[in-house]
Structure 1
Amino acid sequence: MAELEKQFLSRKTMEMVTALLTAGAGLAICYGSWRSGIGWSEMGPEAGYFPFYVGVLIILGSLVTLLRSLFFYRHEGEVFLTMEKARSVLGFFLPLVAFMVISLLLGLYVGTALYICGAMMWQGGYRWWIAALAALAVTGLFYLVFEIGFQVPLLKGPIEGWLGIY
């Protein structure tokens, strides 16, 4: 059991998984660009021309990383993530997932305020009223910058509707 906790995830495995994921992202970029057009028109390059080649570069870089991990690996046996570190990572990852779900259901401003308040209280050890004031201040600043300053509406939920913020 102690050996399992020591080697939860190896660095080699993580490099291979990352290479495959970035190659998949490169493929998605290439496919989307291809659908937009990757050729030249009378006006110059079509919309997908440059993104397509960026996707190709991402795929090539990912393949080099994958081949290096498979055949020329120098960090054999090096641990990337232990169970103890995984708990710490989940302490940040799970609140981010909650932030995304809350933002989709209740709006970005409510999600941001709850995330900042929760992170400050549970991970930073701040008193609830300090965390709440900071969360409201940051959320208010986001509203001023995006909605008023840049005139870019962010995702709003039912609470903003009840308050007449639209």
Structure 2
Amino acid sequence: MTHNGISRYTMEIATALLTGAIGMAICYGAWQVGTGWTPSGPDSGYFPFWIGILIVAGSLVNLLRTVIGHRHKDETFLDAARLRSLARFTLPIIGFAIVSLLLGLYVGTTLYVLFAMRLQGHYAWWKSLASGIAISICFYLLFELVFQVPLLKGPLEHAFGIY
């Protein structure tokens, strides 16, 4: 950490380690289903295994470039102002996901649009609520009726007879 927040150097190392771990997980999963070549062609994990190897290799290159080259050592990646901005974007998305899982996608969408418009766009409550409801109705008409793809529903939709 720098005196003003998290350094870019730290984040580059953390990102390289995270992507390397993801690449190793891909390789392990591919190895479990088979990575060899059979008389009928490649096993199910053959191509994912090599993609995982490429991800690990790229992560290792980024890690080495950062550590050996001391790149971005004094550059701030995340300070208090950037963290607030990030939270204003991220927390509503997390809330949307949680509400959608508990109450259904249409309720989640309505509330997300309502609060995003009201708190970030400073629109009137009635315009924000009307927009949220209108978007949810459009999603319902488009997905459920036109494409016949059911979306996640919760107790409110079931109370209105929408299954």
TM tier relative to shorter chain: 0.7 to 0.9
The reply on whether 1:157 has 2:154 as its aligned counterpart is: yes
The reply on whether 1:53 has 2:50 as its aligned counterpart is: yes
What residue number does 1:78 align with? 75
Deviation of 1:83 (Å): 0.9
Please, which runs of 5 or more residues in structure 2 have no aligned partner? none
- 2:10 maps to a residue whose letter is T
Comparing 43-52 with 127-136, which one deviates more in the overlay?
43-52
1:113 aligns to what SS in structure 2? helix
- Whether the aligned pair in 2 keeps the contact of 1:5 and 1:84 (CA below 8 Å) is no
- Whether the aligned pair in 1 keeps the contact of 2:65 and 2:71 (CA below 8 Å) is no
2:151 aligns to what SS in structure 1? coil
Query: Given the superposition, is the C-alpha separation of residues 34 and 155 from structure 1 closer, same or farther in structure 2, using an over 3 Å criterion?
Result: farther
- Whether the aligned pair in 2 keeps the contact of 1:8 and 1:83 (CA below 8 Å) is yes
What residue number does 2:22 align with? 25
Aligned residues: 163
- 1:131 maps to a residue whose letter is S
Mapped to 2, the partners of 1:149 and 1:30 lie a distance apart of 40
Deviation of 1:65 (Å): 0.9
Mapped to 1, the partners of 2:149 and 2:40 lie a distance apart of 30
- Whether the aligned pair in 2 keeps the contact of 1:6 and 1:83 (CA below 8 Å) is no
Deviating above 6 A after TM superposition, structure 1's stretches of 4 or more consecutive aligned residues are none
Residue by residue over 1:35-87, the C-alpha shift from the partner in whole angstroms, topping out at 9 and shown as x without a partner, is: 33333344433333222222221111111111111111332201111111111
- Whether the aligned pair in 2 keeps the contact of 1:26 and 1:55 (CA below 8 Å) is yes
RMSD of aligned C-alpha atoms?
2.1
- Whether the aligned pair in 1 keeps the contact of 2:103 and 2:154 (CA below 8 Å) is yes
Query: Given the superposition, is the C-alpha separation of residues 5 and 73 from structure 1 closer, same or farther in structure 2, using an over 3 Å criterion?
Result: closer
What residue number does 1:135 align with? 132
- Whether the aligned pair in 2 keeps the contact of 1:37 and 1:49 (CA below 8 Å) is yes
The reply on whether 1:63 has 2:60 as its aligned counterpart is: yes
- 1:54 maps to a residue whose letter is I
Mapped to 2, the partners of 1:95 and 1:114 lie a distance apart of 10
Query: Given the superposition, is the C-alpha separation of residues 147 and 44 from structure 1 closer, same or farther in structure 2, using an over 3 Å criterion?
Result: farther
- Whether the aligned pair in 2 keeps the contact of 1:109 and 1:156 (CA below 8 Å) is yes
- Whether the aligned pair in 1 keeps the contact of 2:16 and 2:60 (CA below 8 Å) is yes
